[in-house]
């Protein structure tokens, strides 16, 4: 099946017309009181209009970081990386403490203004992080996805977390002068919560990558990222994708399904689709064929490649796993992921992986 046919199969329902963006993002390769990483020409006043959050879901190593950084080059879009981990990482309890701009989160000119939001008087940053992490673990993990979708803000803890996230998203939009926040957290429970945040309009991209490519990626050590066995990676791949599917089923008119392989086969066309999903004019697409120039960003965390800047070419294929992943591992992954492997089109016409 060709990429065009698959795109036709992708569930994209759009509502409303296209909105033309205003202003251009300034070059963002420095630091200072007016950080070029967030500065824009043609400043505007923030309104009480609903804020759009484009949430990219699925399991890790699915290409969300590069996709988010591409969208970050679009005027009025701002990629925050994996926002869920802001408090944990800033407190030094996560995988890394660095913003995409290269500074520590607590020293970053952007995040240092966001971190105090919602912090009770007399609380240290570490104490506040403990509270946020406790609420996250108790209410918005993957296992909570269906409960959040079904019961919403059903207890005091989740209501407090929803209030914090609403305030944080609003502050991010105001500080960055953005209309669309791109969040690549991929924690399904957190994604499900978006639909209950006051004044927030969520859009979802369920981004899937071949689980064998994902397993091969997890087997390679990377800066501040641990490794994972093929079996464990595939278990998470299945669970996170099932939960992501539940979310997009709840919000079909503002969701799309996308395979990473289709994205890299036609990156410019895919970005056009993402812009239409968010009701934004595709003429804002920053890609030239397969090439884009990436500038500094303020991602909380994500793939270590988030630090890469300069001219970037999107490679057209993703098949190194065919030789780099041992046959036994490929068999394990295919067996454990079989129902979804077939559903997502990773088998041939005869159903062979």
Per the structure block, which two tokens stand in for 188?
A: 């399904």
Give residue 13's pLDDT.
31
3-class SS letters over the chain = CCHHHHHHHCCCCCCCCCECCCCCECCCCCCCCCCCCCCECCCCCCCCCCEEEEEEECCCCCCHHHHHHHHCCCCCEEEEECHHHHHHHHCCCCCCCECCCCCECCCCCCHHHHCCCCCCCCCCHHHHHHHHHHHHHHHCCHHHHHHHHHHCCCCHHHHHHHHHHHHHHHHHHHHHCCCEEEECCCCHHHHHHHHHCCCEEEEEEEEECCHHHHHHHHCCCECCECCCCHHHHHHHHHHHHHHHHHHHHHCHHHEEEEEHHHHHHCHHHHHHHHHHHCCECHHHCCCECCEEEECCCCCCCCCHHHHCCEEEECCCCCCCHHHHCCHHHHHHHHHHCHHHHHHCCCCCCCCCC
Cβ neighbours around 111 below 10 Å, total: 22
For residue 55, how many C-alpha atoms fall within 13 Å in the half-sphere facing its CB? 30
Per the structure block, which two tokens stand in for 333?
A: 């992954």
pLDDT mean for each 10 residues of the chain (353 residues):
42 31 33 48 53 98 97 98 98 93 97 98 96 98 98 98 99 98 98 98 99 96 88 98 98 98 98 98 95 97 92 95 97 97 88 73
Q: From CA 288, how far away is CA 267, in angstroms rounded?
A: 9
Question: What is the percent of the chain where pLDDT is above 90?
Answer: 81
Cβ neighbours around 45 below 10 Å, total: 6
- What distance lies between CA 34 and its chain's CA centroid? 26
Range 51-344 has CATH code 3.40.50.300: yes
Name 48's Cβ contacts closer than 8 Å, sequence gap at least 6. Answer: 199
For residue 172, how many C-alpha atoms fall within 13 Å in the half-sphere facing its CB? 28
- What distance lies between CA 149 and its chain's CA centroid? 19
Give residue 49's pLDDT.
78
Q: Where are the domains of the chain?
A: 51-344
Give residue 223's pLDDT.
81
Per the structure block, which two tokens stand in for 103?
A: 């500074």
Give residue 212's pLDDT.
98
Give the angle subtended at the CA of 280 by the CAs of 274 and 285, to the nearest 5°: 65
Give residue 30's pLDDT.
35
């Amino acid at each position: 099946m060709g990429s065009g046919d698959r795109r036709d199969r992708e569930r994209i329902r759009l509502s409303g017309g296209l909105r033309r963006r205003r202003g251009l993002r300034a070059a963002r390769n420095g630091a200072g009181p007016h950080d070029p990483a967030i500065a824009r020409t043609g400043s505007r006043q923030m309104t009480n209009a609903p804020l759009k959050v484009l949430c990219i879901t699925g399991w890790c190593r699915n290409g969300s970081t590069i996709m988010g950084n591409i969208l970050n080059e679009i005027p009025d879009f701002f990629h925050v990386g994996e926002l869920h981990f802001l408090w944990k990482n800033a407190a030094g309890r996560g995988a890394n403490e660095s913003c995409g701009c290269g500074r520590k989160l607590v020293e970053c000119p952007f995040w240092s203004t966001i971190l105090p939001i919602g912090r009770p008087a007399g609380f240290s940053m570490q104490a506040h992080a403990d509270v946020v992490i406790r609420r996250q673990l108790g209410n918005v993990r993957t296992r909570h996805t269906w409960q959040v979708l079904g019961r919403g803000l059903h207890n005091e803890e989740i209501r407090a977390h929803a209030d914090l996230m609403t305030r944080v998203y609003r502050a991010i939009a105001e500080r960055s002068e953005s209309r669309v926040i791109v969040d690549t957290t991929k924690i399904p429970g957190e994604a499900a919560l978006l639909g209950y945040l006051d004044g927030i309009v969520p859009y979802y991209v369920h981004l899937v990558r071949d689980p064998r490519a994902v397993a091969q990626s997890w087997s390679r050590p990377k800066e501040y990222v641990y490794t994972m066995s093929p079996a464990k990676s595939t278990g998470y791949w299945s669970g996170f994708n099932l939960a992501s599917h539940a979310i997009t089923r709840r919000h079909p008119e503002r969701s799309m399904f996308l395979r990473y392989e289709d994205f890299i086969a036609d990156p410019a066309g895919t970005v056009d689709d993402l812009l239409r999903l968010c009701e934004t004019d595709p003429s804002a697409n920053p890609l030239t064929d397969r090439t884009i120039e990436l500038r500094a960003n303020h991602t909380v965390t994500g793939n270590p490649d988030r630090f890469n800047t300069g001219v970037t070419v999107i490679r057209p294929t993703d098949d190194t796993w065919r030789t780099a992943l041992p046959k036994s591992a490929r068999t394990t992954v295919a067996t454990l992921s079989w129902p979804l492997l077939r559903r997502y089109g990773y088998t041939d016409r005869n159903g062979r992986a």
